[in-house]
């Protein structure tokens, strides 16, 4: 079974300046130890001043839920996800939430263990050990997380680009496109682009240019391919665009515009919320 | 706590056991500070006893989304009216494995007048995590033909209200739907 492993840093908004483990920490650790035991979660917890570094491992959905809770917990000012990996074995199988004593040597030891295991340098955003451990017990392969992610994404889209033969003629130009019916759940669950495209098509008849302007896909071929897919599966209605919809005169009713601004603001806020609540961010 | 200027509502409607309470408790904020905001929203105490669930997502400065779990049977339709004002989206949960009550299902959609009001709507099939594609297709086409009788088409997803990511996908889809309206 695969194990999801995450680590994050955060600043606690409760006062932890008391050097002898304030009772607040003990409370947090005891509570999470019991919770984690029930949930099958293992990991470690480090404190430095009011900063926390926590490493958690467990099944994917449990970890997603825990992280969501932590991000929503008003005692935490969530900083960043330092690690997000899938592994096949636990690093701390017997520790339901071990509190590492706040001295540099022990903290360095466990962080070093994590770095070595995942072959990464952890970015301990805001979390400081007494000396300069933070940027890493040098690991055999030094791969800053974000960078490697960005490279992967780039590679993906390059590969995709090569795989797609340029379409000889744009088949949707000059038509109004509309959604006839929604694809099956499986397709929707697995395909964010299709989900977004269908949402746009279900709202009103769209020209190709209108769809392009929504920037659902970063490459035009991807948009055309998605439309082709919908068309082949008979989810699309195409009608000749007689009205030249793309060139209708610009008469912006200011009231409508204002409404849209409010709506966009809300939509942006929802988007931010979802993005920040997701496991991978 | 600053006043919420932009407050919208997500209605989650479904029959007994479809996962309304579960979905709300999965994504709603639990931090104690928010209890004030909760009670400041106009939801009479008597409503909770007949089964309204209430949750809330703080979306940033002055913005929040209220989550309202409402029973599906139309004898509770007086409760549905609580969310009419400021309704952002409608999620109808259908529990897989129970008899699909087409009339009950449709009465919710009709009540909310979603066509005229252009309310984003998503149908979520719950208790569906161990189903084959064929099973899912079967229930989806049942739902789809029910929708066709009132002339609408709406996205049907499988949803697991116990899982954060699954709940977030529903929010994401509702946002897409709402973003592209007029
Ligand atoms: N396996 C599984 N269990 C689920 C799913 N959705 C909900 N449940 C569980 O089913 C039970 C009933 O869910 P509730 O959220 O209480 O249902 P409800 O819609 O609030 O039901 P009422 O309040 O009685 O109308 C809970 O134990 C949920 O955890 C699902 O998709 N899969
Ligand atoms: Mg309930």
The residues, any chain, with a CB within 8 Å of residue A14's CB and separated by 6 or more, are A22, A24, A50, A75
- CB interface of B with A, residues 62-101, below 8 Å: 63, 65, 88
Question: Mean per-residue pLDDT for A209-216?
Answer: 91
Q: For residue A249, name the pLDDT band (cuts at 50, 70, 90).
A: very low
Strands (E), A161-263: 175-179, 236-240
pLDDT at residue A47 above 70?
Answer: yes
Q: What's the mean pLDDT when you consider all of chain A?
A: 76
Which of A17-26, B35-44, B132-141 has the highest average model confidence (pLDDT)? B132-141
Q: pTM to 2 decimals?
A: 0.71
Q: For residue A38, name the pLDDT band (cuts at 50, 70, 90).
A: confident
Out of A38-52, A66-80, A241-255, pick the least confident: A241-255
ipTM over 0.90: no
Q: Ligand 1: distance of its center to the CA of B127 in Å?
A: 8
The pLDDT of residue A244 is: 58
Pairing state of beta strands A51-58 and A3-12?
antiparallel
Looking at beta carbons, which residues of chain A come within 8 Å of B162? 61
Kindly state the helix (H) or strand (E) to which residue A57 belongs, with its residue range.
strand A51-58
Which of A27-41, A125-139, B25-39, B134-148 has the highest average model confidence (pLDDT)? B134-148
Q: Is A184–B137 a contact, with Cβ atoms under 8 angstroms apart?
A: yes
The pLDDT of residue B170 is: 96
More confident residue, A158 or A102: A102
Nearest to A186 among B30, B88, B136 (CB): B136
The pLDDT of residue A97 is: 80
- CA A178, A184, A185, A188: dihedral to nearest 10 degrees? -40
pLDDT at residue A91 above 60?
Answer: yes
The pLDDT of residue A94 is: 87
d(CA B56, CA B24): 8
């Amino acid at each position: 079974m695969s194990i999801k492993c995450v680590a994050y840093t955060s600043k606690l908004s409760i006062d932890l300046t008391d050097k002898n483990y304030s009772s607040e920490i003990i409370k947090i650790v005891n509570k999470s130890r019991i919770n984690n035991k029930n949930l099958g979660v293992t990991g470690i917890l480090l404190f430095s001043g009011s900063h926390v570094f926590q490493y958690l491992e467990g099944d994917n959905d449990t970890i997603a839920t825990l992280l969501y809770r932590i991000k929503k917990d008003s005692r935490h000012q969530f900083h960043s996800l330092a690690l997000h990996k899938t592994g096949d074995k636990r690093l701390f199988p017997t520790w339901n939430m071990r509190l590492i004593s706040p001295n540099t040597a022990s903290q360095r030891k466990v962080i070093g263990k994590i770095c070595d295991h995942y072959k990464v340098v952890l970015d301990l955003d805001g979390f400081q050990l007494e000396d300069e451990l933070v940027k890493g017990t040098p690991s055999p392969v030094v791969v800053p997380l974000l960078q490697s992610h960005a490279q992967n994404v780039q590679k993906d889209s390059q590969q995709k680009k090569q795989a797609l033969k340029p379409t000889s003629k744009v088949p949707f130009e000059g038509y109004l496109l509309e959604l006839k019916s929604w694809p099956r759940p499986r397709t929707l669950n697995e395909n964010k682009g299709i989900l977004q495209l269908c949402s746009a098509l279900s709202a009103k008849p769209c020209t190709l240019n209108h769809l392009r302007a929504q920037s659902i896909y970063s490459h035009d071929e991807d948009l055309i391919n998605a439309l082709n897919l919908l068309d082949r599966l008979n989810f699309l209605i195409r009608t000749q665009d007689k009205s030249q919809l793309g060139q209708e005169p610009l008469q912006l009713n200011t009231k409508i515009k204002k409404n849209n601004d409010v709506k966009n603001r809300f939509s942006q806020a929802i988007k931010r919320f979802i993005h920040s609540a997701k496991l991978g961010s | 706590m600053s006043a919420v200027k932009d407050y919208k509502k997500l209605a989650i409607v479904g029959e007994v056991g479809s996962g309304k309470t579960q979905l709300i408790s999965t994504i709603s904020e639990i931090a104690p500070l928010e209890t004030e905001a909760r009670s400041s929203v106009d939801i009479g105490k008597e409503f909770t006893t007949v089964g309204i669930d209430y949750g809330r997502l703080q979306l940033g400065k002055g913005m929040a989304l209220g989550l309202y779990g409402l029973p599906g049977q139309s004898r509770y339709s007086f409760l549905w009216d609580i969310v009419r004002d400021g309704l952002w989206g409608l999620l109808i949960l259908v529990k897989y494995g129970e008899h699909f009550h087409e009339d009950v299902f449709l009465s919710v959609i009709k009540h909310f007048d979603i066509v005229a009001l252009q309310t984003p709507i998503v149908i979520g099939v719950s208790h569906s995590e161990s189903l084959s594609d064929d099973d899912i297709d079967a229930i989806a086409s049942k739902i789809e033909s029910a929708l066709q009788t009132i002339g609408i088409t709406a996205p049907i997803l499988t949803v697991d209200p116990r899982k954060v990511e699954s709940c977030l996908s529903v929010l994401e889809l509702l946002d897409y739907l709402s973003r592209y309206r007029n």
